[in-house]
Amino acid sequence: MGKIKKKFTEGASTTYITRNRALKKLQVSLADFRRLCILKGIYPVEPKNRKKANRGSSKPTTFYYAKDIQLLLSEPLIAKFREHKTFLRKLQHALGKHDITKAKDLHSRRPQYTLDHLVRERYPSFADALRDLDDALCMLFLFATMPVVKNVSNEVVEECKRLSAEFMHFVVHSHALRKVFLSIKGIYYQAEISGQTVTWIVPYQFSQHIPLDVDFRVMATFLEFYRTLLGFVNYRLFTTANLAYPPKVDADLDDSAAGLGSLRVESKRVEDLIKENDDEETTAIEEKHTKVSKEMKQRLSTLGAKIKSLATAEDAPEYSSVTVGGDDSEARNEDDDSNTAELLFNKQVFFLSREVPRYSLEFVIRAFGGRLGWASSSGGGSPYSENDTNITVQICDRPVQGHQFLNRTYLQPQWVYDSINARRLLPTDDYLVGQQLPPHLSPFVEYADGDYIPEAAAKFATAEGFEGDVEKLKPEDEDEEESEGEEDAEIEGDSADEEESDDEDEDDIAEKQHQKQLLAESQGLSFTEYQQKAGNKKAKKPAAKKRSKAEEEEEERQRIAISMLSRKKRKLVNRTQDEAKKRAKDINALHSRKAQVTKAAKKAARK
Amino acid sequence: MAPAKSKAGNSKKRTASNRAAREPEVRFPKNSNIEVPSDEEVDSDLEEDVEEGDFDEMLKMMAEEQGIDSGEEGGEVEDDYIAGDSLDEEDQEEEDGDEDVSDSDIEGDSEDASDDEDDDLLLAPSASRSTDDLATAVDSNSEGEGEGEGEDKQLTIRDFGDDLEAWKEYRKTLPTIEAGYASDSSTEEPSNTIGNVPIEWYEDYPHIGYDIDGKRILRPATSDELDKFLENQDNPDVFRTGRDEVNQQNVKLTDEEIDIIRRIQGGSIPDADFNQYEDTVEWFTSKTMQTPVTGAPVSKRGFVRSKSCRLIRQGKITPGKPKQEKPRFYDVWENADEESADAQSSRRPLRLAAPRLALPSHEESYHPPPEYLPTDKEREAWLEQDPDSRKRNFLPQDFQNLRSVPGYQKFLHERFQRCLDLYMAPRMIKKTSQLNAEELMPKLPDPRDLRPFPAAEALVYTGHTGRVRSISIDPTGLWLLSGSDDGTVRLWEIVTGRCAQIWDLKDVIHTVAWCPNPEVGSRVVVIVPTELCSDQKLLVTEEFEEEDAASLPVSWDMPPSSEQSQGIYISVVFHKAVKSLAWHKRGDYWATVTAEEGGASVLIHQMTKHKSQRPFRKLKGAVQTVKFHPNTALRYVRIYNLMQQALVKTLQPGVKWISSVDVHPQGDNVIVGSYDKKLAWFDMDLSVKPYRSIRYHKQAIRQVSYSRKYPLFATASDDGSLQVYHGMVYQDLNMNPLIVPLKILRGHEIRNSLGVLDCLFHPIQPWLLSAGADGTIRLWT
């Protein structure tokens, strides 16, 4: 007979550990344990069999991986927490005795800890950190707009502001912003940084409603880690972009609420680099440079030029002074078409009226290469005054614009966001001041086969580029125009199906005549031809609706085949089919709602 | 005398010892050299002893020494004492004086002088001693000192050796020394040593006590009262004179003493010089700390410099200087690539990244397309719903422009919820059903490759007015017999659909069946609840059987002639309704199932002998149907060998209500249809459990049927449909039968929740015939 095996020495009972046992093992309080879990990123797990994991008990408990807890045991933070506890006790003692000097002394020597090692531990590589940056950004951007509450001091809020501004600066600098969405909750931004998409939401800048059931201790702990994380991420981003970190804050501009402009982003030792470069050039005639050094030099020269240009772009108000380094821009044009979208507002100069959200528009416009000025009442440091003749677009959000300059268009802010999402400048007709705005759509929606595609989405795909009244707005390079046209055609091809579905509705609406003409144009047909085509489609429709016999047979075959499946697989198949049905139902509901809306609109139009 | 002697010896000893005690530092070698120069050994011993500090030993030795000395001098002393002369005393004084020299050597001169006065005070008793005496004493003392010093020098120079006499002579030349203070002989005046005893005890003696040398102090003469009085009168100091009872003397108090007395009487401090309000001497204050607080030894730390102190001295650190701040952030991922591999080592479980929040859809837009806005009804429903069970946590709203968008109230709350989810929600990998249904589908051959099979309706045989319960085809495949609830049995020509014959039996016909053996003569058995008919017409033999109330619940009868004219030959009458009927393939035997309980429900009848027999004594449960196995005999799910009359096998179809059974023509496979919608295919060589269980019909399966010629089988169900399967049984025993669903045939109407009641394959063609509750029979080709 073999040795009798002891119970609970292997298997699930040793892989998992309950929370209470973890507390006992770590010898920490529950509050400290929670903090540790938050900081270390340890989460509960669900064992396959709760009873086996909890030594035969089926009590409702939280389980952790025993190995996680084992690793927590050697965490230096635990010792720091204990030190802090004793420090607090001593401080309390001193304060209780009104021994202010001792209390001050204690406070000056209070135990301090950093979370640097945790950042590295949780995110072994930089890409990992970027992948998990969403929550950090959301929290920091929220707390940057928060009032000081319990557990969140003024310093913390200030740091959040600084870190978020730094991050925004990097996004602006690297033109990494991809999508923007104005939701009822806040403004969503999506940027692409080192190949990772990072999405975050920024609340509208109103005073935050602070609910009673929010535990700020938890939030503060999260914030503590996120601040450290974003600090390191910012450092890395800035240094890889060859910028000095931390960027200097211009106190005067900051006081005058200059927003993003108050941070002076400086390149890393620009002068040194340029100087080196010059020296090399002077000696170049005499010396034979190796290929490597030449490359280095070239790189350095372009870098310096780039930085210079950027610096001038930021500072100089003159339109003419903006000169992007020649070779550089060429290279860009050659390299990728996406650059044209990244520098969407390259040729525009915006002016923001005081009623538009500058905190968002400034970021967005600058991220897409635009230059802008703003009303002095919404902050100082504006490079352009309202009377500046260079301004091409004025963003305002008021029912009527009184005095209008003839050489600029007055648009509502949604135009900026929609243009960014459409990745080209949209026609301005619908966005003029006082105009009923077209619906604002989420750029994050990806349409699968058979999904409901709103009319506006199709419209974006088909609408032509922005050809406003102002000549300056016209894209100067004809090549660009062509490329845009091609792009349109491509998108057109994708969205052909939805157009079919929408054709019926569109037919009757007089307002959409124009749009249809555009559609026809984009397809390279005359309008009449297009109409005929549409008519044919309509005629075909009933036939299409009636399912062919073959289809029916096929369906029946499938049904029969399902009967041959095992129970498990049959359930799976049924579930997938149910899901598909549910989806179809939702889509149908949207279609019917759309039909109702158009009907109502038609009625209203007749009246 | 003896006591006195001893006393004297004692006293001598005591003096010596006293001396020794008082002057422990006296250098005995000197003395001994003087007194007993020969006895060197003793001296050396003494020296050692003194060095050792053994005081008692020393005393003893001294006593011996003195004893030696006193051998000579003791006699003198005695003599002196007797003489009562003071000469001896002088001698002693001389001796003392010698010692005194050594004493004065040791002690300072000035001290001597001051101490002399004290001596005077103490030794004041004798009234006769005047101040001039004292003065002379002092003088002599001082002289003696001076001389003593000289003598000392002389002493050191002169060595007498053993010549004691010479020394004595020499001694006589020496000047007499007045004892001063610090000499033992300073107690010149006899001071009584009796201690604290009443003086009355000495009233009867001539002496009043003993002096310090043990000599008697003689009672001084006492003056009488008159003398006293006179003295008092004459003595101006009478008021400052006191009586010393112990010494029996009058003592004149000095001014100082009187002053002291006065002070004591006045209640003040006796010492006039005592400063009551002297300044405090500060021993241990915050400023002076002449004595330590504790007796603990000073710790090392107290006098060794600390590390920080050392560093400060070395100038490496400057106290009070603000710390040089390192940059808060640096590149943590500096050498990340190397380590990223081992970060995910086996040391810790795989970390699951928290799922990202879902990206917003169009509904969340501040100005969504109108079709995304909820209707009033939906809005109300949303508001009423429990917040946790809502599909989305916001209500879509439409704002006409950006300026009218308010702040979102639940922003912080949602972020908090996310935080809670991040650290409190268990994470696990859950497989979502992103599967494509087509991937799950079984790989079946295309039905088109498995033709021929009945795929479409070809003919409808109409005529019956009630449900057609049963159909049967004759072995040649030309004729079809059908029995219906309308009480008629009809004979149809299959190909044309013409009704050739109608028999009206005026009762519900449950089952009809052709005899399968054409050689015996074609027979049709028609079962009516009470009757069983065998029709013979044309090529058809009909037999009519009737009930027989014998031991078996059947009776064989010849039908009445009227019926015989219709071709009914035998009638077998059953007690209970007959549910099912099956012919043996040789045509002689047929089996019936009645609604009877127990073993009597299954009967086997033999045509030629007009006999029935009951094969089973007992049966569990109600038997629904019977079938003959093509080679052996088979019953329902229990398979019996009728020849051996033994149970072969019990099949377990796993269904509740078996409705029908059919046996594959080759005999090894059985299909069982059930009222609980399932079809079970049994491979009897394989297992007693179904090889394949198929559930397609939505209602109960009424009938299952194999094709005798083609690898086909079909099921008929109450849902009005027939399903045709390809059921290929291979000759190779290793190959499993292939079952492919081919076609669902629909056409029968559903009446009273009854659809297709019977189905049957054509014996020659790949045709299927079905009888429905709608009174039609349909041919599917």
**With an 8 Å Cβ cutoff, are A124 and B349 in contact?**
no
Q: How many CB pairs under 8 A join A and B?
A: 263
Which residue from A546, A430, A501, A415 is spatially nearest to B371, judged by alpha carbons?
A501
B525: three-class secondary structure by DSSP: strand
Specify the pLDDT at position B578. Answer: 62
Specify the pLDDT at position B475. Answer: 76
Token code pair at residue B62: 């001294």
Q: What is the pLDDT of residues B427-438, one digit of tens each?
A: 988 876 566 767
Tell me yes or no: is domain B447-780 CATH 1.10.10.10.
Answer: no
Per-residue DSSP letter, B306 = P
Q: What is the C-alpha separation between B166 and B74, in angstroms, rounded?
A: 20
For chain B, percent of residues with pLDDT exceeding 70: 58
**Distance (Å) from the alpha carbon of B442 to chain A's nearest alpha carbon:** 7
**With an 8 Å Cβ cutoff, are A43 and B344 in contact?**
no
Token code pair at residue A458: 């199709």
Q: What is the C-alpha separation between B367 and B357, in angstroms, rounded?
A: 22
**Distance (Å) from the alpha carbon of B298 to chain A's nearest alpha carbon:** 27
Chain B residues lying within 8 Å of A577, measured CB to CB: 437
**Distance (Å) from the alpha carbon of A414 to chain B's nearest alpha carbon:** 8
Chain A residues lying within 8 Å of B399, measured CB to CB: 184
Report how far Cα B465 is from the mean position of its chain's Cα atoms: 83
User: Does pTM surpass 0.90?
Assistant: no
Which residue from B460, B532, B443 is spatially nearest to B499, judged by alpha carbons?
B460
pLDDT above 60 for B384: yes
**With an 8 Å Cβ cutoff, are A442 and B343 in contact?**
no
DSSP A363-411: HHHHHTT-EEEE-GGG-S--SS-TT-TT--EEE--SS---S--TTSEEE
To test the contact with chain B by mutation, choose from A185, A206, A356, A432 the residue with the greatest count of B C-beta atoms within 10 A, namely A185
Which ipTM was obtained for this model? 0.78
**Residue partners of A174: CB distance under 8 A and separation at least 6:** A193, A237, A241
**With an 8 Å Cβ cutoff, are B442 and A561 in contact?**
yes
Amino acid at A248: K
**With an 8 Å Cβ cutoff, are A203 and B408 in contact?**
yes
Mean pLDDT computed over B680-696? 81
**With an 8 Å Cβ cutoff, are A188 and B359 in contact?**
yes
Degrees, nearest 5: CA angle B683-B686-B687: 90
What's the pLDDT band for A403 if we cut at 50, 70, 90?
Answer: confident
**With an 8 Å Cβ cutoff, are B362 and A116 in contact?**
no
Which residue is closest to A600 within chain B, CA to CA? B370
Mean pLDDT computed over A39-46? 94
Number of neighbouring beta carbons within 10 Å of residue A31 = 11
B470 close to B483: Cβ distance less than 8 angstroms:
yes
**With an 8 Å Cβ cutoff, are B419 and A222 in contact?**
yes
Which residue from A75, A37, A78, A44 is spatially nearest to A61, judged by alpha carbons?
A44
How does the average pLDDT of chain A come out, rounded? 79
B321 close to B311: Cβ distance less than 8 angstroms:
no
Domain regions of chain B by residue span: 2-189, 225-266, 447-780
For chain A, percent of residues with pLDDT exceeding 90: 46
Side-chain-side CA neighbours of residue A220 (13 Å): 14
pLDDT above 60 for B50: no
Which residue from B502, B497, B417 is spatially nearest to B457, judged by alpha carbons?
B497
**With an 8 Å Cβ cutoff, are B411 and A142 in contact?**
yes
**With an 8 Å Cβ cutoff, are A557 and B394 in contact?**
no
Q: Which residue has the higher pLDDT, B378 or B601?
A: B378
Q: What is the pLDDT of residues A322-338, one digit of tens each?
A: 333 333 433 344 444 45
Identify the weakest region by mean pLDDT among A8-12, A264-268, B232-236, B526-530. Answer: B526-530
Chain B residues lying within 8 Å of A199, measured CB to CB: 356, 359
Identify the weakest region by mean pLDDT among A136-140, A423-427, B72-76, B576-580. Answer: B72-76
Chain B residues lying within 8 Å of A213, measured CB to CB: 413
**Distance (Å) from the alpha carbon of B587 to chain A's nearest alpha carbon:** 38
For chain A, percent of residues with pLDDT exceeding 70: 73
pLDDT above 70 for B351: yes
Identify the weakest region by mean pLDDT among A78-82, B210-214, B373-377. Answer: B210-214
Left (φ > 0), alpha (ψ -120 to 50) or beta: where does B209 sit?
Answer: left
Mean pLDDT computed over B11-27? 43
